[in-house]
């Protein structure tokens, strides 16, 4: 199924994630294959990890130009993470001074689980303040970073408020994840309130401290965020690596029961099992550390893996083309487009695809009756 270059990529990725003697990672590639390997590493968001392994030993076939390129990418990643850390501390201090509790989510909360945290590339700074503090928090960020351009106003955007502080994008979240179906949104909202507002965990790491989501919820959230990326666009191996590192450090005896209960209620238990198979067989996560693993997911998991490795990013088909002007025809157009999206997802998770179709029907009905956007179903 995997090409020799892809197989080599996974062997290097496992060496980067779990450590060990990298000299025994056999890399025997010609010049063309080297370029393919470096392309995969960068496209999958794992370039700093892969390059760290390759630069730690003398590898035959690596040209001086390739080594310079890898060193430059790694140095840029480390420099950007330092800039992000500085902005994060500024934003958190300003919000805390205004009496707003800040919970760190995604990138920085995951980097500390890696063998070398600075090798986990972070695209932006993600912080959570909740719905009640959303507008006040946006005001604080505008005052703290007056020169930072913003591309959305807090009144218009549903999920998070965005500004760019130099090269560092900042997303201040009012919700950590959104759902199309109101019942799913209500169920997740209860979990979010408990894990992010009432009982976040205090983390002490090196010379810094911050609040993170409660541990079990964080596993659920990281998976849901990755699955959303797959459903709407694509998914990268860095997101699989994030989940693997998080599960490696998980020491919660009731994690499996927690995940089974909530993944099933949110219609993504089958999707989790696809991830679990990939984490165990391709990223090297020990089976005993991977809740709800099943070998029955093999065929669809490998199909998902190949898609992640080779497919180009896509958009939901409702965003493509020109919709009819007639109201009824436009609703039919959107329904058919979302149905095509569900047919694609059914190749990997039939249960989630069925839920997508039923949600689409419910959305169309409510919008037809009330003219409401599903984002307002809270």
Q: Are 298 and 322 in contact (CB under 8 A)?
A: no
Distance of CA 268 to the CA centre of its chain: 15
CA distance 329 to 50: 50
Q: Are 308 and 234 in contact (CB under 8 A)?
A: yes
| 74 Cβ contact list (under 8 Å, min separation 6) | 47, 48, 51, 52, 55, 119
CA distance 283 to 276: 10
Sheet holding 125-128, edge to edge: 103-104, 125-128, 168-173, 160-165
Q: Could you tell me the CA-to-CA distances from 70 to 16, 55, 97, 138 in Å, in that order?
A: 15, 8, 41, 38
Q: What tokens appear for 263 in the block?
A: 């993944």
Buried b (16+ CB within 10 A) or exposed e, 248-275: bebeeeebeebbeebbeebbbbbbbbbb
pLDDT at 55: 87
pLDDT at 270: 97
Task: Note down pLDDT in tens along the chain; length 378 residues.
Answer: 789 999 999 999 999 999 866 556 667 788 898 899 999 999 999 999 999 988 887 777 788 888 898 899 889 888 888 899 899 999 999 999 999 999 999 988 899 999 988 889 888 899 999 999 999 999 999 999 998 876 666 555 678 899 999 889 999 999 999 888 888 999 999 999 999 999 999 998 777 889 999 999 999 999 999 999 999 888 999 999 999 999 999 888 899 999 999 999 999 999 999 999 999 999 999 999 999 999 999 999 999 999 999 987 766 554 555 666 665 666 666 667 777 888 899 999 999 999 988 887 776 666 656 555 444 433
pLDDT at 27: 73
CA distance 344 to 82: 40
| Beta bridge mates, 210 | 203
């Amino acid at each position: 199924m995997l090409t020799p270059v892809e197989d080599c990529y996974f062997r290097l990725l496992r060496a980067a994630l779990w450590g060990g003697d990298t000299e025994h990672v056999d890399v025997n590639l010609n010049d063309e294959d080297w370029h393919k390997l470096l392309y995969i590493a960068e496209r999958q968001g794992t370039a700093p990890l892969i390059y760290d392994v390759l630069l730690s030993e003398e590898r035959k076939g690596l040209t001086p130009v390739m080594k310079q390129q890898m060193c430059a990418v790694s140095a840029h990643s480390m420099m950007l993470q330092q800039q992000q850390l500085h902005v994060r501390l500024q934003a958190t201090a300003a919000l805390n001074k205004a009496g707003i509790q800040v919970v760190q989510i995604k990138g920085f909360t995951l980097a500390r689980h890696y063998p070398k945290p600075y090798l986990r590339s972070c695209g932006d700074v993600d912080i959570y303040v909740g719905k009640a503090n959303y507008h006040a928090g946006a005001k604080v960020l505008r005052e703290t970073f007056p020169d930072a351009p913003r591309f959305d106003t807090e009144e218009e955007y549903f999920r998070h408020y965005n500004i760019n502080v130099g090269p560092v994008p900042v997303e201040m979240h009012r919700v950590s994840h959104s759902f199309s179906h109101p019942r799913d949104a209500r169920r997740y909202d209860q979990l979010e309130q408990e894990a992010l507002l009432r009982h976040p965990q205090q983390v002490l790491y090196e010379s810094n401290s911050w609040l993170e989501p409660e541990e079990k919820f964080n596993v659920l959230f990281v998976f849901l965020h990755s699955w959303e990326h797959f459903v709407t666009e694509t998914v990268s191996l860095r997101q699989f690596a994030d989940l693997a590192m998080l599960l490696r450090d998980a020491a919660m005896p009731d994690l499996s029961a927690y995940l089974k209960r909530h993944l099933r209620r949110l219609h993504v238990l089958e999707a989790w099992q696809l991830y679990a198979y990939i984490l165990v067989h391709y990223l090297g996560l020990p089976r005993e550390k991977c809740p709800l693993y099943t070998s029955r997911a093999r065929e669809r998991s490998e199909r998902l893996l190949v898609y992640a490795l080779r497919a180009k990013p896509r958009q939901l088909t409702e965003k493509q083309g020109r919709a009819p002007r007639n109201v009824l025809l436009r609703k039919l157009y959107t329904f058919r487009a979302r149905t095509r999206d569900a047919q694609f997802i059914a190749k990997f998770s039939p249960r989630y695809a069925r839920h997508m179709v039923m949600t689409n029907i419910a959305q169309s009905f409510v919008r037809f009756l009330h003219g409401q956007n599903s984002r307002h179903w809270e």
